[in-house]
Structure 1
Amino acid sequence: MSKLIWESRFKPQARASLRQCLHDLKRELQRSGLDILEVSNTQLAVNPDLIDTDLHVLETALSESDDERATQLLLELAGKPLLANIDLGDALDKWLTTQRGQVENRLRMSAQRLLSTLRAGGLNERHDALEQAWQGWSGVSRLRQRSGLAILPFKQIDELGGDLLLADAVVEELSSRLGGLNGLAVVGQTSVAALASSALTLPEMAEKLGVTHFIEGAIHRSAGSVKLTMRLIEGASDKQIWSDQINEPEAYFFDQRKLIGENAIAGLSQAMGLKQNSRPVRTMTSSREAYALYLQGRTLTQRIALEGALPKAVELLERALKIDPDFAECWTALAEAHIHVAVYTPCLERVALSEKAAACARRALDLDPNQGYAYAILSIHEWTCFNPAGALEYALEAYRLEPNNADVTLRLGSSLLYLGRTREALPYVEAAIEQDPAYGRNYVMLCVAHLNLGNLEAAVRAGQSMVDLGIPGVYLGVAQAAAGDHETAVETYYETRRYVGTIIMSPPGAADISDEARDFYLKTAAEGICGGDEEARQTYCNLIEMLHQTLLDPYDQTVAWPAVWMGHSELAMKVYREQIHPANMPGLMSLWTEIDPICRTLQHPDFMAFAEDIGMVEAWEKYGWPDLIPSDPR
């Protein structure tokens, strides 16, 4: 502290000056009856019994169940981060970041306990007031106040050939660095890529993505140098308002990666009136070969419908890590690739792959504790370990570190959905859609959230958005059936046959079948799940029972999800009691739909024992009870 205040003085002189100032301050406070400072030659402390803060008052209100006082305080504190505007160096800044995270998680747990108590007592208006105030303070509801930015895919003109994807590298670096700017929401690259190849004009893309600005650019790589050009464009007018150009040797783009992001941050901040702050520079690699392999692996990880892409992605990322085993971002990318293999390919070792992913995520965090997405991967794995409380804890930590990452935001929302806390989950799901509005997977969660809340029209709209973005319409069919439109629902579900072999994979080890047999099977499934006919339902229940007994993976989603949707309670609880893996996990969020026959599992007399067996009760006791079970019924 003495060095910070008197930087130009010698250390002994600065320390002596600080001690004298503190002693003088202590005497002045004592004259006013405030004996709060404790000063010695080695330390400075305050008497906590004589100090009161808005944070302490808020925590007291929450712990004493004074919801009206807590609501008032949260409204007063909305938009005010904890311990803000303190700049005393990197060490203190890191300490403050840790403290903020711990305090926010502590407040979140206290708020959720009080919300559960209010709901259990039937105090709905007070519950809703506190919930809205909490969301306003915690930041979820403030996303719409930010300016939106989309980074378009950069063009690469490469005179040298090869597989060095510098354009992708620049886009990734910009996305990461700009994502930390206050007041700026960077749209996910999945949504940008989905629209960038369309015939839409920039103003039309701006409207669909919900952004105000674009960054576009190009890389020209030649033998002597690499030329990077970037420009900021106003979405509504297609007008350029800022540009930058870098012409340097190739080594610059590895050794001075930080400067690329800082140039863009400086230009954007000036052009858009934003505060110049960003997240720490990521722990990357100095190896060009490892970085090239990493970029190729990351690209293939997202191409889930391309045959062989995911195993190849794992191979490339593992090769990169052999070159540089301290490449933290690559460990996180490899963790994600293992999860994608478990979810999107017909493999038998899904829990083992989840364990591999968790090991990679832990290695990434050992190297760089700021890897928020690595915590999201750990959250997935904890469900396979029947530890939902740990899963939610990891999801909360991931969100604290990377609140602007749509994948992280959705992981928190999905964890809450699995636990039946749909009202709390919905704002996070909606936030993920704002961050990545053209990614169909996000609308799956939105569809189920609205189904669970009884918003049937909204559920159908979300399901249709999912289908429009290329996701098979199984959830749309379920939503249409819940809304009573069984004929349309059966047709929607049956139409998913077009995706078999690409997005929808046959169960692991299943024999190839003819198109006619495939169509007959899906027709039976559609009528059983969506037809509203009890006989058709029972027929398909019998069929998935047979699949459970004969498939190499008896816990495959082709068994687990229909068991939940058709209210086949005994089979649904048996499957999830015995094995939760990344592919069947999403079926848990449909347990909380209060529409027959889906609700039959929740209404089953063995449901609470089932919930305790898979760890849900422990999570509810720690974080709050689900919407449909507002207090412990045991």
Structure 2
Amino acid sequence: MSKLPPEGECSPLIKSTRSTIELSRTRIDADLFVLFDALSNQRGREASRLLEDIGDRPLLDGFSFGASFAAWLTERRDAIEHRLDAEVRRVVSWLNSRDDPETAARLEAALQIRQREAYRKRGAGCSIAVLPFHQHDEIGGELFLSEGVVDELSSRLGNIQDITLAGRTSIAALLERGYTLQQMASELGVSHLIEGEVRRTHQGISVRIALIDGRYGTEIWSDFVSGSIEEFIGSRDMIGATVISAITRTLGLSAPPSTSRRMTTNRDAYALYLQGRALAQRVGVDGAMAKAIEFLEEALDTDPEFASCWTALADAHISVAALTPSVERVKNSRDAAQCAQRAISLDPGQGHAFSIMGIHEWTQFNPARALELSFEAFARDPNDADVISRLGSCLLYLGKTREGLPFIEQSVARDPIYGRNHVMLSSAYLSIGEVDKAIAAGRRMVDLGFPGMWLAVAYMAAGDHVAAVKAHYDSRIYLGTTIMRPPGMPVMDDAARDAYFDIAARGIFSGKAADRAVYCKMLDGLHATMADPYDSSIAFPAIWMGHADLVMKLYSECIHPANMFSLMSLWIDIDPINRTRLHPGFMQFAEKIGMVEAWEKFGWPDLIPHDPRNTSSDPD
């Protein structure tokens, strides 16, 4: 609070009843109120100064009125930060439209400093990888109890602000390599690991949980908990406050009391949910996603009020659209959005579901709503690796790279073995001209077993066309695995595959006009004949070659979860990629697919700092 107005005829400062104490809003003046007033009235210079003065200080710091107040305060802080972010972006956009880029840049820089500090502090506690638990079952049957324990532990620990969890994708990748605990901690960049085992006998369930110091691979805490199957599935209190408190106490952290999630009390529904979740992680296994969806739908038939299962089903549908050769990708996305909406109606705290709805909004040419939902997801679940990644990618698609980069960097930190995160990082670095960093991220991506096409883009940006052609051509070995085969396309023999990748590599990356013309013509033919004319195998190279007419036609007609990933490459400012952005029809295209509406609401992209259609130069 900055000052207290004189009492005079004002209302009393404190209003109290038997159960509440309330401060009168009219009797308090605070720096936050002044800042929002400056923003609402477009006083950019004043808002910049105020935000710089506030810096990275947390809102309402120093108050301690118990656990309930702490939980309420955390929720309010997230909501206010979300509102502040949106207001600053709106004013930055307005300042740029009034030809005042200097003030706009100052205001945006002040916000970015605050956001980066928030991320630094969020990661300043402990980083933990929760490893899959071993399961020993004397009864038999497919009851995935170990997955349930890991899921509950991850959920509870993920809600503690001073704890950062490693992503499940990276953990799974390392387990396949047979690393030691110390090696895993080093590769994941975590300070601690949690491992354990679940035993099921006719007498009940027992769970052993151990906390491991990642530096030495030594156990620093462990405990056994036991109970009946009904206790485990009905309330999940076996992995309750006592276990979480013991872990945080061992780590030297304090955490407000947490409550278990609103799950299901139905044993069959929970077992089906765990099986579906486990199968949904195996995207590359034939039939796994279809079976996962079958299990999750059966679980919901058993318990239609199971919010987390609706979110898991939504995520499975989105994975089908984005990561498998589906011919119904927009329908898959719509199914995902409907499931996510159902999850939110049952439990508004399902942040992951908000991010899935955001993906679907892109297919509806509504990126403004997509970004809004991505921020809503982050406000509810700021520690979820997928939520962070999807927010960052949404900003990259809109060309707001500098704003999105901290989220992408956080995604890499949480899921460092997931090649897709390094793709986004490389693309983001290229968009801000950091070519060496982009190459380093691309090489890391290839080291992790991901195709090298994006490394090829980075080499092209560096002017090394020979290396770019080779990196793309070498990716041919991933066709049918990491590079999904286009829907409806027959399997190629090695000779046909090699010939196609040779034409593609030279067409995109050789720098020769004749090679480019040949491949552009081939893409036009594929667009006219393929089962999915908007497939990523057409969209990605069209953007990289700056085939502007095809890019704008393709994305004007259909955006789906598989091809939207390449939108981030539109903002790489090198020839020939930038030919699409520099095309005379680009702004009309951007308006048609909803980007302009998003820019007007959240601020213009890095390469288009103000509305080029606005020729006025009114002073601020």
TM-score, normalised to structure 1's length? 0.90
Does the residue aligned with 2:229 lie in a helix, a strand or coil? coil
Task: In structure 2, give the amino acid aligned to 1:246.
Answer: V
Q: Which runs of 5+ in 1 are unaligned?
A: 1-28
Larger mean CA deviation between 257-266 and 59-68 belongs to: 59-68
Give the distance between the partners of 1:278 and 1:140, measured in 2 at CA: 23
C-alpha deviation, 1:72, in angstroms: 5.1
Equivalent position SS for 1:216: strand
Q: What is the rounded CA distance, in whole Å, between the counterparts of 1:501 and 1:266 in structure 2?
A: 46
| Structure 1 residue aligned with 2:389 | 410
- Partners of 2:7 and 2:29 lie apart in 1 by 20
For the pair 1:228 / 2:207, whether they are aligned, the reply is yes
**Given that residues 225 and 238 in structure 2 are in contact (C-alpha distance below 8 angstroms), is that contact kept between their aligned partners in structure 1?**
no
1:472 aligned partner, one-letter code: P
SS, match of residue 198 in structure 2: strand
Aligned partner (choices 43, 48, 57) of residue 65 of structure 1: 43
Deviation at 1:341, TM superposition (A): 0.8
Aligned residue for 2:458, secondary structure, equals helix
CA contact (8 A) 1:182 1:277 kept: no
**8 Å contact kept, 2:88–2:108:** no
Structure 1 residues 481 and 279: alpha-carbon distance in aligned structure 2, compared to 1, 3 A threshold: farther
2:328 paired with 1:349: yes
**Is 1:543 the counterpart of 2:519 in the alignment?**
no
Give SS of 2:502's match: helix
CA–CA distance in 2 between the matches of 1:95 and 1:41?
Answer: 20
Superposed CA offset, 1:418-469 (max 9, x none): 1100000000000111122211111111011011111111111111222222
Question: Structure 2 counterpart of 1:316, which letter?
Answer: F
Query: How far did residue 290 of structure 1 move?
Result: 1.5
Quick one: which amino acid aligns to residue 243 of structure 2?
A
1:297-327 CA-to-partner distances (Å, cap 9, x unmatched) read 1122121111111111111111111111111
Which position in structure 1 is the counterpart of 2:618? none
CA distance, structure 1, for counterparts of residue 565 and residue 66 of structure 2: 45
| 2:248 paired with 1:262 | no
Partners of 1:38 and 1:465 in 2: CA distance: 58
Question: Which residue identity lines up with residue 253 of structure 2 in the other structure?
Answer: L
Deviations along 1:525-559, whole A, 9 cap, x unmatched? 11111221111111100000000111121111111
Contact 1:476 1:489 in 2 (8 A): yes
What is residue 205 of structure 1 aligned with on the other side? 184
Structure 1 79/573 Cα, relative in aligned 2: closer, same or farther at 3 Å?
A: same
CA distance in 2 between counterparts of 1:99 and 1:624 reads 24
Sort the Cα spacing of 1:34 and 1:283 in 2 relative to 1 into closer, same or farther, 3 A. same
Partner of 1:617: 596
CA, structure 1 residues 509+470, in 2 after alignment: closer, same or farther (shift >3 Å)? same
AA paired with 2:32?
L
Q: Secondary structure at the match of 2:127?
A: strand
Deviation of residue 144 (structure 1)?
3.5
**Of 62-71 and 337-346, the range deviating more from structure 2:** 62-71
- Report the RMSD for the aligned CA atoms in angstroms: 2.5
Q: Quote how far apart the aligned CAs of 1:189 are.
A: 1.7
Cα shift at 1:86: 6.3
Change (3 A) 1:32 1:572: same
Question: Which residue of 2 is the match for residue 479 of structure 1?
Answer: 458
Query: What is residue 404 of structure 2 aligned with on the other side?
Result: 425
Is 1:362 matched up with 2:341?
A: yes
Separation in 2 of the partners of 1:118 and 1:406?
33
Give CA deviations for 1:173-220 in whole Å, capped at 9, x if unaligned. 101100111311111122122223434332332222111111111111
Residue in 2 that maps onto 1:378: 357
Task: Name the structure 2 match of 1:104.
Answer: 81
* C-alpha displacement of 1:249: 2.2
**Contact conserved, 1:350 with 1:581, CA < 8 A, in 2?**
yes
The 10-residue stretch of structure 1 (245-254 or 373-382) with the greater mean CA deviation from structure 2: 245-254
What secondary structure is seen at the aligned counterpart in 2 of 1:145?
Answer: coil
User: Counterparts of 1:279 and 1:517 in 2: how far apart (Å)?
Assistant: 57
- Whole-angstrom distance in 1 between the partners of 2:164 and 2:240: 16
Structure 1 residue 118 displacement after superposition: 6.5
CA change 1:360–1:69 in 2 (3 A) is closer
Secondary structure at the residue paired with 1:215? strand
Contact 2:273 2:296 in 1 (8 A): yes
3-state SS, counterpart of residue 251 of structure 1: helix
Q: How far apart, in 1, do the equivalents of 2:112 and 2:86 lie? A: 16
CA contact (8 A) 1:143 1:431 kept: no
Question: Is contact 1:61–1:70 with CA below 8 Å preserved after alignment?
Answer: no
Between the aligned partners of 2:203 and 2:575, the Cα distance in structure 1 is: 68
**What are the residue-to-residue correspondences of 1:67-466 with 2, within 5 Å?**
67=45, 70-71=48-49, 73=51, 76=54, 78-81=56-59, 85=63, 87=65, 99-116=76-93, 121-123=100-102, 126=106, 129-136=109-116, 139-277=118-256, 280-466=259-445
- Note the C-alpha offset of 1:227: 1.5
- The alpha carbon displacement at 1:402 in A equals 0.8
Measured after TM superposition, the shift of residue 479 of structure 1 is: 1.4
Shift of 1:76: 3.5
1:585 to 564, 587, 591: 564
User: Which one is further off, 610-619 or 104-113?
Assistant: 104-113
Matched, 1:52 2:29: yes
Q: Find the aligned partners of 2:318 and 2:354 in 1 and give their Cα distance.
A: 13
Aligned amino acid, residue 495 of structure 1: D
Query: Match for residue 18 of structure 1?
Result: none
Task: Give, in whole Å, the separation in 2 of the partners of 1:198 and 1:365.
Answer: 38
Checking the alignment, whether the CA contact within 8 Å between 2:128 and 2:191 is kept in structure 1 is: yes
1:11 counterpart residue number: none
Offset at residue 417 of structure 1 (A): 0.4
Question: Secondary structure of 1:123's partner?
Answer: helix
Matched AA of 2:113: A
Shift of 1:281: 2.5
Aligned length in residues: 604
Unmatched runs of 5 consecutive residues or more in structure 2: 614-620
Task: Give the deviation of 1:283 after TM superposition.
Answer: 2.0
The answer to whether the aligner puts 1:563 opposite 2:542 as a matched pair is: yes
Q: Using a 3 Å threshold, how does the CA distance of structure 1 residues 620 and 51 change in structure 2: closer, same or farther?
A: same
**Cα pair distance change 1:435/1:108, threshold 3 Å:** same
In structure 1, the residue matched to 2:482 is: 503
Q: TM-score, normalised by structure 2?
A: 0.92
In structure 2, the residue matched to 1:14 is none
Report the CA distance between 1:590 and its aligned residue.
0.7
In 1, the alpha carbon distance for the partners of 2:502 and 2:544 equals 16
Task: Give the C-alpha shift of residue 115 in structure 1.
Answer: 4.0
Bigger drift between 422-431 and 154-163 goes to 154-163
**Contact kept in structure 1, 2:122 and 2:161, CA below 8 Å:** no
Query: Could you report, residue by residue, the CA deviation over 1:494-518 in whole angstroms, capped at 9, with x for unpaired residues?
Result: 1222111122222222233332112
Cα deviation, residue 47, structure 1: 5.4
The yes-or-no answer on 1:35 pairing with 2:11 is yes
Q: 2:123–2:163: 8 Å Cα contact kept in structure 1?
A: no
